[in-house]
Structure 1
Amino acid sequence: MTNPFLTRDGVVADDGVIQHAGNPVREQRSLDNGSAIVSRDDRAVISITGEERRSWLDSITSQAVARLRAGESTELLVLDPQGRVEHAAAVVEDGTTLWLIADAADAAPLAKWLTMMRFRAQAEIVVRDDLHVVGVMRNGSAYERVVEAAVREGDAPAVWHDPWTGVTPGGWQYASVAEHPGSDYAWAEAVVADLAPLADLPVAGALAAEALRIAAWRPRWANEVDERSIPHESDWLRTAVHLDKGCYRGQETVAKVHNLGHPPRRLAMLHLDGSDSVLPARGDTVFDGEREAGQITSSALHHEFGPIALAILTRRTPGEAALEVETEGTRVAASQEIIVPADAGRTAEVPRLTRLSRRKAVDPPQ
């Protein structure tokens, strides 16, 4: 597939993914106001066709997709038997095809797992190497152009509307804020066969897209997921988990942690001291004093907030703690915004039985 944006003056790419087009901060503003697009070569497409595509996928993943209608979007997770996140995907139904958009490194493993789980279901799973993904905000002029260019195999274009602007049916939000920063994150991703009709639009790079995602507290498989991750830790119950649907692999852990326990780690956004001009990398250690408190999962230079990051912290890390991030041999001061509070979970109202020793004696019947 040819990408006309790669040949533009000033474009800097890494392994085929455009990082920026000369000015990442300006690109953020253009992307944020909906006038620019992002060529998402770090994302990949899986198509699922067949009469049972929705009911089958509903039975094996965290989200309720059985009744998705043409043009409707959601997202899902694939969990292991212990409830840990293995795969994540955006989902949009067009009336004929169920489109999954996943981080590029996860697309082939996800498609392989789905194929193994198909059994006799009428569903055909294909990794679509012939297609592109284009990202855009829905609040500007570029959005209509992207929709026009999107693949349309059914009754609706293959355009995913990120549900992160609110809590989806069956979901749950742990973040305790008057106004969630994701409420303005009107992100969309379109499946496109040819980028040429969009080649005249302003282009932004991955650095700009990541900065806006981090500021919206939005988790991503390629960054926030490791071998220990459960969806509660990054507030992913908001949009990727339906708590009231039927059983699926990992559902018991999801229910237990949500109703009876607390997630062992929690996602926080860090505002970093920018005086040293050092931006931490994924995996850098976060310290509370001399005690390790967690790791950086994502970082960016935001056009309004300056250097910011998402970090997975231990639940015992105090919300008011003055943190530091160790990167490139130096310590960078960081203040935290709590996304998932330490007391998240334990939502069930479990009745407490009176202890036997405190029960009033009752005379036996005569």
Structure 2
Amino acid sequence: MTGPTPSPLLALPGAVAGNGIDAPVAAHYGSFNTEQRSLEAGEGFVDLSHRDVIRIKGPDRLDWLHNLTTQFFAGLAPGVWTQALILSPTGHVEHELRGVDDGESFTAFTEPGASGPLIAFLERMVFMTRVEVTDVTADVAVTWRPTSSRSVEEGALAPVSKPDEGTYYLVPRDQLTTFAEAAGPACGLWAFEALRIARGEPRFGLDTDHRTIPNEVGWVGTAVHLDKGCYRGQETVARVHTLGRPPRRLVLLHLDGSENRLPTRESELLLGDKPVGLVGTSARHHELGPIALGLVKRNVALDATLTTDSMPAAQEVVVDPEVGLHVRPRR
């Protein structure tokens, strides 16, 4: 598949395009701080139409996904949001997807550019199973709205909901502008990312790497179902979940705001002059200031101040370094 085309919503007033893999959508529409406040107040929407979208059809699709992934797909009811991972035999995260079944097909989205490798893997796993996997990115766009926002009266829209984190909509791509008119005001990706990072929610491939296991980033219990049969990589996940002490842990970093910059992704996190981790995504939060997600070695003290790109960075726990608690406690 060729790279995503720029979103038509970049033509909206004030739109400024993002960068890197997020370049096809708007980073902001004039004020990312105002846009964050709008989303927190339950207003507006975010254009995520650069995300890849796949569709899995066939009568065996749910049992097939149940056997392949970390999630419990058997008997999944239509309209129920779910997130799933595909692991390596040693438990490292190779693919991440989230989506919804409509009774006839399962439609899911991934990070930009991630559908090709995912589809290639899935097609190798078909064997005699009655499933068909297709890339529908050209036809389906992803958007996001706060959970508390008013409903959008558009019959063609398929909501994909998760409490406390907002609602994803799978929108026919040719109706994206119509959706925007109904769901406004438009809020850019910078606002969305700041709120995501503040929640401690990692982004696959940006806050994770080829060594990441689900236990390190808080995906046990959300993307990993603990009461299902065997799947590839289960032994590692179960062992770490039972015994605790994952090799690394996800942290929310509160960065020194005296410099008007954010750290480069994959910058080293230092304890003194010793490398102890890497920075993932970062953003400017309208209340918390500059923040980032990072992966640090488990044995780094919780109260240790780290540095990255010569900036001090205080830690807030997202994943407990010991046992049991694999997501940050609610405030």
Please say whether Structure 1 and Structure 2 have the same fold, judged by a TM-score greater than 0.5. yes
**Structure 1: gaps (5+ residues):** 151-157, 166-184, 348-366
Residues 50-199 of structure 1: pairs in structure 2 closer than 5 A: 50-128=58-136, 129-141=138-150, 144-145=151-152, 148-150=155-157, 158-162=158-162, 165=163, 185-193=164-172, 194-199=175-180
**CA deviations over 1:298-357 (Å, ceiling 9, x no partner):** 11101111111111001121111111112xxxx11111111112213699xxxxxxxxxx
Distance in 1 between residues matched to 2:51 and 2:159, nearest whole Å: 14
Distance 1:346 1:296 in 2: 22
1:335 and 2:314 correspond: yes
1:285 aligns with 2:290: no
- Structure-2 change in CA distance of 1:335 and 1:345 (3 Å): same
Q: Which residue number corresponds to residue 224 of structure 2?
A: 241
Equivalent position SS for 1:64: coil
Query: Is 2:257 the partner of 1:274?
Result: yes
Residue deviations 1:115-160, cap 9 Å, x none?
111111111111102111111111012xx2176441xxxxxxx322
Partner deviation per Cα, 1:187-231 (whole Å, 9 max, x = no partner)? 221111111322322111111111010111111213222011000
What's the Cα RMSD here? 1.8
Instruction: Look up the match of 2:197.
Output: 214
Q: Which 4+ runs in 1 deviate beyond 6 A?
A: none
Q: Which residue of 1 aligns with 2:234?
A: 251
Contact 1:257–1:345 (CA<8 Å) still a contact in 2? no
Residue 32 of structure 1, CA deviation: 2.2
- The equivalent of 1:317 in structure 2 is 300
Which AA in structure 2 matches 1:26?
A: T
How many residues of Structure 1 are paired with residues of Structure 2 in the alignment? Answer: 313
Cross-structure match for 1:181: none
Percent identity, please: 40
Does structure 2 retain, via aligned residues, the 8 Å contact 1:134–1:146?
no
8 Å CA contact 1:271–1:335 kept in 2: the answer is yes
Contact 1:266–1:314 (Cα < 8 Å) also in 2:
yes
Q: 1:149 to 1:278 in 2, by over 3 A?
A: same
TM-fit CA distance, 1:42: 3.2
Partners of 1:6 and 1:243 lie apart in 2 by: 42
Q: Secondary structure at the match of 1:109?
A: helix
SS in structure 1 of the partner of residue 39 of structure 2: helix
Structure-2 change in CA distance of 1:303 and 1:287 (3 Å)? same
Query: Which of 8, 21, 24 is residue 4 of structure 1 equivalent to?
Result: 8
Unaligned runs of 5+ in 2: 327-331
Distance, in Å, in 2 between the alignment partners of 1:147 and 1:231 is: 36
Instruction: Please name the residue that 1:226 is paired with.
Output: 209
Q: Aligned partners of 1:324 and 1:289: how far apart in 2?
A: 8
- Code of the aligned partner of 2:241: H
Output aligned runs, 1:285-304, within 5 Å.
285-304=268-287
Which amino acid in 2 is paired with 1:293? Answer: V
| 8 Å contact from structure 2 (residues 6, 24) kept in 1 | no
State how far apart, in whole Å, the 2-side matches of 1:261 and 1:211 are.
29
1:305 maps to 2:309 = no
Q: Go from structure 1 to structure 2 and tell me whether the alpha carbon gap of 1:271 and 1:47 turns closer, same or farther (over 3 Å shift).
A: same
Contact 1:17 1:40 in 2 (8 A): yes
Q: 1:46 to 1:247 in 2, by over 3 A?
A: same
Query: What does the per-residue CA deviation read over 1:281-314, in whole Å, with 9 as the maximum and x for residues that have no partner?
Result: 2111111111112111111101111111111001
Could you tell me the TM-score, scaled by structure 2's length?
0.90
Q: Which has the larger radius of gyration?
A: 1
Summarize the Cα distance change of 1:312–1:298 in structure 2 as closer, same or farther, 3 Å threshold.
same
Length-normalised TM-score, structure 1? 0.82
TM-fit CA distance, 1:16: 1.4
